[in-house]
Structure 1
Amino acid sequence: MQDRDRFFREEYMAPTHFTAIALAAAGFFSTGLLYADASADLKATVDRSMKAMGAENVKTLAISGQGWDGCVGQPYNPNTPWWRKFSNKDYVRSIDFEARGWRLQRIRGEGENPPRGGCGAGPIADQTQNLVVMAGATAPWNTQLEYIFLPEGFLRVALEKNASISPETIKGKKYTVISFMGDNKAPVNGYINEQGYVEKVETRIDNNVLGDTVWNAIYTDWKDFNGLKFPARIEQYQGPPKFFELAVTDVKVNVPVDLTPPAGRGGRGGPGGPGGRGGQPPSSLSEDLGDGFWLITGGYAAIVADFKDYIVVIEGPQNEMRAGQIIAEAKRLVPNKPIRYVVNTHAHFDHAGGLRTFVAEGATIITHQVNKGYYEKILKDPHTLVPDKLSQMNPQPRIKIETMTEKKVLTDGRHTIELYHVQGSTHNEGMIVAYLPKQKVLLEADEFNVGPANAPTPASVNPYHTNLLANIERLHLDVDRIIPVHLPGDGRKVTMAELYTAAGKSKP
C-alpha cells in the first residue's frame, strides 16, 4: 500500500478510551441529534463533532466550487497517480441530508492537458450536467458512499449503524475513530480530530481488476462559511490514485433543495466507485476467420488462434464472466490444447478485466512494456470482498508477463499474429493492435469505435481515426477487415473503406 493509503495508520498508539462522561465534562454533550439505538459514547462523540462544525441544525447544504473527478481504470498511463481527469466547472452540489439525496450541477469537460485517456473515444467537449441522485438505504452501496463521504453524512450514518468509537494517536496527533460495517462487509472508518472536525473517511470497495480497493475522502483547509465550519479542499482517492478534487468556494446552509429528477432523465445512482463485476453478457458466438482463427462475439470481441501446440487468445476483456465465456469457447473450438498466451491491447479496465481469469488458466499475458510493473502489482492484490477464481487458488499460479515495445510476432511456422504499438495514440500509451496477415484482419480497441453503417465523414473528424489510419499506412499493413473490440451493434463486417471515410480521406 502506498504511503498515501497509510495516512492516519502509522505510528499507532492507544491512549485512554474517551467516555461519554468525559465528553460531557468537556462541554460536548447535547440533545440535538440522538438515535435511540446508538450508544451514549457514540451519541456524545457525534454531537461534539456536529457542534464543533456548527452543523447541529443543518438539514441541507449547497456546496460550490471548481475541481475535477476521475474515470477509474481509464488513465493514459496506468502508473499515473490520478485517474483519467474530467474538469468540473461551476460545480454546485445541493444535498438534502434528511432525504439522503442531492442535485449535482456542473459543466464537465476535458481535464487532461494534453487531452488523453479513456472514458470516451476522442476529444472530450464540455457538457452541462444536471443530475439528481438518491442515496437511501436501498441504493447501491457505492452510491450511498457518496453521501457518507460528506462529514455530516458520515456522522448521520454512523448513528444509524450504531458505530463503535475508539481513540488513536497517529503521528503524534490524537483522533477519535468512528467505525461501522458497510453493506459490502468492509469497515467504514471516520477520523475526528481534537477540534471535532472529520478529517478523513475511509473504506474498501470491490473492483474486478484491483480487488479490495481503498476509497477515502480527505478534508483539509477548514473555513468558516457563515457559521458552518467546512473543508475548503476535498480530495478522494481510489486504489490509490486520486479520484476527485474540489476547491470549495462557498457553502450555503439550509437552502431549498429540489430533488425532482430533470425532465426525461429520471433519478440515478451516483458515480460510485470503479465498475463492479458486470452483468451477464450475451452468449458467445464464434465466426471462422479461416486457417485456425476465430472471432468470438457476444460481448467485447476476442480472437482465438489454433497454434500447433497451444492456443493464443487476443484480448481478455470486461470481467471474469466474459473471460470465462471466451475461454470455454476457445476450448470448444480447439480441444485438448492449453491457452499459452493472452494478448492485452491496453490496460484500461474494460479491456483488462478478464486477465485474472486467464492467469488462473496458466496463460502468459502479452502486453506493452509500460504495463509490466503495474500488472505484476495489481494481479497480486487481495480479492476478499468478492473472491474470484484466481484469488481462491492454492497455490497461487505464477504471474507470467511478456512485453513488447513497437513490434512482436507470434508464429508456429503456419499461423502468424503480428502485434504493433499504436504510435501517437492519445487513448492509451501502451496501445497495441493485432494483425493477421493471411486473413488481412486488424483487431483494434477504441481507436475506431464505429457508428451506424454508411455514415458520412463527420464535420469534425476524430483524431483517433486519422491516427489509426496513419499507423496502418506507416506499417504498410494490407487490411481488408477491421475488427473493433467494441463490435458494431448491427454485427456488420467493418472494412478499411469505413475508416477512410471516418478519417476524411480517400481510399487509394
Structure 2
Amino acid sequence: MFAMAVLTIALQAAPAPRPAPPADPAAGVLLRKALSAQGGEEKLRAIKAVRWSATGYRNMLEQSERPEGPYIVEHQVVSDVHDHERGRQRSVTESTINPMGKFTTGFIADKSTAMRLAGEARSPGTAEMVTLSRETLALSPERLLLTALDAPDVRVAPAVTMQSVPQDVVRFSLDGAPVTIFLDRYTHLPTAMDYAGPLARAGYWRFLGDTVVRTSYSFWWIGKGGVKMPLQWDITRNGQPEGSWAIGTLSLDTPATEAELQITPEIRAAFAALPAPVAPGDMPFGSTRQPPVDLAPGIVLVPGPWNVAFVRQDDGVVIIEAPISSGYAAKSIAEARRRFPDLPVKAVVTTSDSWPHLAGVREYVAAGIPIYHLDINAPILKRVIAAPYTSRPDALQRKPRKAILRPVSGATTLGTGANRMVIYPLHGEVSERQMMIWFPEHRLLYGSDPFQGGGERGYSFPQAVSEVTDAAAREGLKPERFFMMHIGPTPWSELAKSIAGAAQLDGPDGK
C-alpha cells in the first residue's frame, strides 16, 4: 500500500550523490521548495529506513452490495518497514471482516524476490509484489518529492484548486505511467498524489482497465530531525473511496533488521522457479482439474475460477456470465462457437454488479452481442464499458462500438423450447444487485453469487441462502437442482438444511 509511509528514519553520515538537475527548471524550483518545507533535501536523502504502523479501513469495492455505497468494510492494522538503503519492504496487514473473522497477510520483498506471509506460513510471492514494493518505496511520502526531482521528465503542469486551496502541480513518469503531485501553494507540502501505473492497478483493479489512484495527505507531523510526515492517507481509485489510514505508532530512529526482512534461501529458489505471470487477458479458459459438466442437453457448465455456462437455444447460444477480463470473455465466446458452430452467440447474461461477473462485458460490446443485466446495475456497467483501456487495449478500445444493453426489471423470458430461460431479479438485501435464471423444463436454477461454500462446511451467508429460496418461492418456482458462479450442480434441498442450521444459532460466530 504505497500511500502509507512514515516512520523509522535513520540518517546516513554522508549525502547521496546528486542527480542531474531536472529538465524543467520551474519544476525543480517547486520541488525544492516542497523539500525544504518537509525538512530539507539533505535530510530526506539521508533516510535509510522508515517504520510505521497504522489503523484504518478499506472499503471492499470489489465485494460490496452497491457500487455507490455504503460499502462492506475491512478494518485493518498495517505495519510496514521501508528499507531504502537496500530497497526492501516488509508489509503486514491484520484484517477483520465481520462476520468472516480475522486474518493476517503480508509480504517481504527486495529488488528481485518476494515472500508471501499468511499468519505464520511462508511461501513464494509474485513478480507483481516485487514491482509494487519498488513503487511503494519510490512513492512513499519520505521519498515522493525526491523521486519527482530525480525523474528526467519532471515538468510543471497547470495549477488547480483542490480542497479550496490553490495547488501547484508537477508531473513525471514512473514505470511508464504518469505521477501527478499537487503542492499546497501556501505550505508547499504535498496535498495529494495521483498515479496510474502497476501499483494503481493492483488486485482486482487490474481487470478493469486504466486506473488512477489518488492519495490525499493530511495530519502533518514533525518527526525527529525536523522531518515532516503526513499521518493520515485517504485513498480513492477512479474516484471511488477505497479507504483511510492513520499512523498510530511512529519510530524515527530504529533501523531495519535482517530478521524482519529476511527471505529464506528455500523461498528464493521456489520464487525463481515460478512460471512467468499470466496477464488477465491471457488466463486459460476453464479448468484443467474440472471438466465441463452437461447440466441438461444443450446446457453446459464450464468450471473455473469463475464459472461460465453455455445454453443452446434454437436461434443461438446464450452465455451466462462475462467474468474476469476482455481476453477471458473472448475465449468464452470462441468456446461457445466451437461447441455450437452452427449457431450465433445471441446474448450474454451478467447477473451481478460484482467485478467477476462483468469485467468481460466489453468484449461482448465489441462483438455486438446483447447484454442482459439487472436494471439498477446499468451505471456500473456503463462505467466499465466507457472506461479507457489505453494501458492494455482490448477489442473495444481498438474499435469503439455502442453497447446493446437489455435491462431486466422483472421476469424476462429469453428464448423458447426446451432450454428457454426466465430471468428474475433476486430483490434481496445481500443479493440486491443480483439475478437468478430459471430453466422451467429442467427445474434447474442458476443463483448468481450471493453465497459460496457448500458440503460439510455449509454456506457462507445463510441470509443470502434464504434470499435465493425466498425469491424462488415468490416467483412460484420449484427447483430440483441449482448451480452458481462458484458452486456446481447441487440438490435444492441442501439450501433448506443450511437455513435450518443457521436458525439454531444466535450469530455468525457459531454461538
TM tier, shorter chain? 0.7 to 0.9
**Which one of the candidate residues 52, 65, 73 is aligned to 1:76?**
65
Q: 1:456, 1:498 → 2: CA distance? A: 12
Taking every aligned residue pair, what percent have the same amino acid on both sides? Answer: 20
SS in 1 for 2:283: coil
Residues 341-367 of structure 1: CA distance to partner in whole angstroms, max 9, x if unpaired?
211111211111111111112111111
In the alignment, structure 1 residue 126 sits paired with structure 2 residue 127: no
SS in 1 for 2:319: strand
Contact 1:94 1:102 in 2 (8 A): yes
SS in 1 for 2:386: coil
Contact 2:418 2:441 in 1 (8 A): no
In the alignment, structure 1 residue 165 sits paired with structure 2 residue 152: no
Deviates more, 1:236-245 or 1:326-335: 326-335
Quickly say closer, same or farther: Cα 1:463–1:361, change in 2 above 3 A. same
**Which one of the candidate residues 402, 416, 422 is aligned to 1:418?**
422
SS in 1 for 2:235: strand
What are the within-5 Å matches in structure 2 for residues 113-152 of structure 1?
123-127=99-103, 129=104, 131-134=106-109, 136=111, 140=128, 141-152=131-142
Paired residues, number: 446
SS in 2 for 1:213: coil
- Which residue is 2:239 aligned to? 240
Q: 1:465, 1:346 → 2: CA distance? A: 16
Q: 2:65, 2:370 → 1: CA distance? A: 23
Q: 2:404, 2:317 → 1: CA distance? A: 16
Q: 1:208, 1:63 → 2: CA distance? A: 27
Quickly say closer, same or farther: Cα 1:469–1:256, change in 2 above 3 A. farther
**Which one of the candidate residues 342, 350, 353 is aligned to 1:344?**
350
- Which residue is 1:373 aligned to? 379
Contact 1:339 1:362 in 2 (8 A): no
CA RMSD of aligned residues (A): 3.6
Distance apart, 1:387 and its partner CA: 0.1
Contact 1:166 1:178 in 2 (8 A): yes
- Which residue is 2:261 aligned to? 260
The structure whose RCO (Cα within 8 Å, separation 6+) is larger is 1
Q: 1:299, 1:360 → 2: CA distance? A: 24
Distance apart, 1:211 and its partner CA: 2.0
**Which one of the candidate residues 91, 104, 107 is aligned to 2:94?**
107
Q: Normalising by structure 1, what TM-score?
A: 0.76
What are the within-5 Å matches in structure 2 for residues 54-453 of structure 1?
54=39, 55-56=43-44, 57-80=46-69, 84-89=72-77, 91-110=78-97, 123-127=99-103, 129=104, 131-134=106-109, 136=111, 140=128, 141-158=131-148, 161-166=151-156, 168-171=158-161, 177-183=169-175, 185-194=176-185, 195-205=187-197, 207=205, 210-226=208-224, 227-258=226-257, 259-260=260-261, 277=280, 280-283=283-286, 286-393=292-399, 396-426=400-430, 428-451=431-454, 453=455
Contact 2:61 2:67 in 1 (8 A): no
Contact 1:58 1:253 in 2 (8 A): no
Q: Which letter does structure 2 place at the counterpart of 1:179? A: R
Contact 2:142 2:229 in 1 (8 A): no
SS in 1 for 2:468: helix
Q: 1:487, 1:261 → 2: CA distance? A: 40
Specify which structure has the higher proportion of helix: 2
Distance apart, 1:399 and its partner CA: 0.9
Quickly say closer, same or farther: Cα 1:135–1:328, change in 2 above 3 A. same
What are the within-5 Å matches in structure 2 for residues 455-474 of structure 1?
455=456, 462-474=462-474
Quickly say closer, same or farther: Cα 1:260–1:60, change in 2 above 3 A. closer
Q: Normalising by structure 2, what TM-score?
A: 0.76
Contact 2:88 2:133 in 1 (8 A): no
Q: Identify unmatched segments of 5+ residues in structure 2.
A: 1-13, 114-126, 272-277, 503-511
Quickly say closer, same or farther: Cα 1:167–1:296, change in 2 above 3 A. closer
